[in-house]
Structure 1
Amino acid sequence: MIRKFFKNIGPGPLVAAAFIGPGTVTLCTLAGVNFGYALLWALVLSVLATIVLQEMAARLGIVSQKGLSEVIREEIKSPVARGLAIGLMLSAIVVGNAAYEAGNISGGALGVQTLFGNPEIVIGSSNFTVIPFVIGAVAFISLFIGNYKVLEKTLVALVILMSLAFLTTAIITKPNVLEVVKGMLVPKFPDKSILTIIGLIGTTVVPYNLFLHASLAKTKWQSKSDLSYARKDTIIAVILGGLVSMCIIISASAIPHQDISNASDLAKGLEPLFGVNAKYFLSIGLFAAGITSAITAPLAAAFVASGCLGWEANLKSPKFRTVWMSILVLGVIFSSIGFKSIEIIKFAQVANGLLLPIIAGFLLWVMNKRIVLGTYTNSKIQNIFGIIILIITIFLGVKGILSVFNLI
């Protein structure tokens, strides 16, 4: 029974690995430090929304045996609308992930640096930190092998490591279980918390995961009879990812309000209160979060580019490899020299803000097309949940764009 369960673990853990990156860790840290357990309900809402959308993406991939960007290219008939959609997807996912990759690698490096310091090498007049190159090498080897099963096992192992690390950290802090449950079930809006609430939802419901999930689901499963495995895989993995995020909030809630801006500060803050072990576990979790996102971000970008441009979406395809290699190399270089690509990241945030409601809307539309899915279209209840989530994504998209231009 257990053997069969592990055999049918699919892309779900990879999706969880993708949305729990250093940005999520930092945001959950700030949510815990500033608001205690009060915003845990926002993560519960995020998990439910993510399960609904990711299940649709996985079902689309398995039934159609196509990636989401490929379906978009085929189903949008207007050349102008198709061109705009492809341009937006390439901008938001490919360019955006290249910008975010430096953050993923830097986040993973931060976890290692908290424990072992920050060794540097000097080349000419430039200083380069070593750890980003090590993380980049691990990501490169994992992707270059080009074997889905190897990649899957690597990421599942890292997700388990990350989950255990953050769960252990939360347990060490001895949280008030009753207050934790209350925070999960009773929505509260503390003063100045609205942007953090929106951020917690936005960092969990991410557009590139929809592309990643559809592409990986068709790689893992080719038969419609596997849909039940895909559904269980999605639900378990996304809930696990949500629990990891909650554990970070719980851990951060345990320390007195002080000058904490990221997970590295949290690790240092936990040490005097709960011993050096808390710092170790948190740092390991941050490392795992960074390296998993450093692998999945280039992978998602390669799948999107392949679908948009009509290339073969094969892990060993030269064009496919060129995309993820470019993103990974840029991420390593920018991370190692401490380059802050603020304008690129702002552009990516605007593009993602536009893309999320568009992709959620398109996904909902295509999930009701019998020409694509036959008898596997959405049920009424799935459509109701989908429409509610679409409204949320529009709200998130508008907020993201306004915040970039400092209008809120």
Structure 2
Amino acid sequence: MKKLFSFIGPGTLVTAAFIGPGTVTVCTLAGVQFGFTLLWALTLSVIACVILQEMAARLGVVTQQGLSEVVKSQFEGAPIIKWVFISIIIAAIFVGNAAYEAGNISGGVLGLSTIIEEPTIQLGGYAFNYLSLVIGLLAFVLLFLGNYKVLERSLIVLVLFMSLAFIITAIATKPSLSAVFKGFVPDFSSEKLLMIIGLIGTTVVPYNLFLHASLVKEKWKSADQLPIARKDTITAVVLGGVMSMAIVISGAAIQNTEVQSAADLARGLEPVFGSAAKYILSLGLFAAGITSAITAPLAAAYVVKGCLGWKDGVKSTRFRLVWMFILFLGVLFSSLGIKSIEVIRFAQVTNGLLLPVIAIFLLWVMNKKNILGKYVNTTTQNLIGIVIVMVTLFLGIRSIWKVFENL
């Protein structure tokens, strides 16, 4: 077991971050609405995620710096451009993660709410959901310990549990294998376009690039360890992809198109496959919520630390204040049921802008020999990277356009 843990690293935290309630819900709806026919889109999403996360991990291991620090170093001669760029990154990550943290905690609450009925207490004129506080406290304890190994191993256990929960649920639905295999044949029907965009958008997450580059240097200290880092990245992201596919397969078993979330999926499976499936999926959703509730504040703190050039460690007061603030907002909005539409819209705009910008910058910096030496991108990696940049640019424009359509 000790040898196994020595090979498992930050990739698990990346999986924990992108398999959140949002991903679970999008994959559920993809299965409910389109059956197995979008499994190919998930496959492409996983490939794109592996390529970008490998670049981020390589950058972190070789330079022993996070992506934020490298951003700063490339604009030292142009302070105005540097601070504009840094301000955009901090605003997008900070506000975006605060908004998504509320969703992460709410997702974990949804999972438990299908098992625990009426988890609310009345305080004055407000109905307070105590499960939000429970999840928030659990995330707080793990983050406050500030011990990378404890955090990593806690998330490994949760991710493995989450994997088993979703995969067992998918197997319980007894899907037709021939229909599943047909789902890997590309289909670009116009009515599926928005769902395809959603599946890619929930897998390729901009803050994961910052998180991964910052975390690998906690685990590996030299470029000689790159093969282990790559193996860790590929294994973890592919596992996340398998989980996402399992959720799509589970969703396809529900013929009720009124299913709107993963919690509905958990309840919908009960009459078909018994109460066991309901409980397994509900606990899987809880695990998805708590893992993402830990990684989102951590990513925000690493971004601010790198952008502002803080040299102190993860146990420093100001580092902790950043993730505490993100976690506090998430618990507050989740427990009081506050749905701040404007904040979420702003988060969509900023993250829509950030994803292609960061993808472009990452591709650019991965070709600079003065930073990476012989570890720069190969021609194949660049070609694949350019395709991913084009897709992320389309995603960014589409997400922003969708926001303005709803104004």
For the aligned pair, the TM-score class normalised by the smaller chain equals: over 0.9
Distance 2:308 2:123 in 1: 38
Distance 1:189 1:396 in 2: 15
When the two chains are superposed, the root-mean-square deviation of aligned CA atoms in Å is 1.3
* SS of residue in 2 equivalent to 1:115: coil
Q: Which amino acid aligns with 1:12?
A: G
State the identity %.
Answer: 62
* SS of residue in 2 equivalent to 1:66: coil
2:358 match: 359
1:41 aligns with 2:40: yes
Cα pair 2:33 2:257 within 8 Å, conserved: no
Written as runs of structure 1 = structure 2, the 5 A alignment for 1:3-402 is 3-76=2-75, 77-184=77-184, 186-312=185-311, 314-402=313-401
TM-score, length-scaled by structure 1 = 0.97
Distance 2:257 2:191 in 1: 17
Distance 1:13 1:120 in 2: 33
Q: Which amino acid aligns with 1:178?
A: S
Shift of 1:78: 2.4
Distance 2:2 2:287 in 1: 25
Gap change, CA 1:127 and 1:407, over 3 Å in 2: closer
Shift of 1:159: 0.3
Distance 1:167 1:37 in 2: 15
* SS of residue in 1 equivalent to 2:203: coil
Q: Which amino acid aligns with 2:53?
A: Q
Cα pair 1:118 1:130 within 8 Å, conserved: no
Cα pair 1:132 1:332 within 8 Å, conserved: yes
Which stretch of the first structure deviates more once superposed, 256-265 or 133-142? 256-265
- Cα deviation per residue 1:8-33 (whole Å; 9 max; x = unaligned)? 21100100010011011111111000
Cα pair 1:143 1:151 within 8 Å, conserved: yes
Which stretch of the first structure deviates more once superposed, 45-54 or 171-180? 171-180
* SS of residue in 1 equivalent to 2:127: strand
Distance 1:3 1:335 in 2: 37
* SS of residue in 2 equivalent to 1:203: helix
- Cα deviation per residue 1:60-113 (whole Å; 9 max; x = unaligned)? 001101010111011124223212211111111111101111110000010000
Distance 1:171 1:20 in 2: 19
Q: Which amino acid aligns with 2:16?
A: A
* SS of residue in 2 equivalent to 1:128: strand
Distance 2:402 2:36 in 1: 25
Distance 2:270 2:53 in 1: 37
Shift of 1:4: 3.0
- Cα deviation per residue 1:383-402 (whole Å; 9 max; x = unaligned)? 11111111111111111110
TM-score, length-scaled by structure 2 = 0.98
* SS of residue in 1 equivalent to 2:121: strand
Q: Which runs of 5+ in 2 are unaligned?
A: none
* SS of residue in 2 equivalent to 1:219: helix
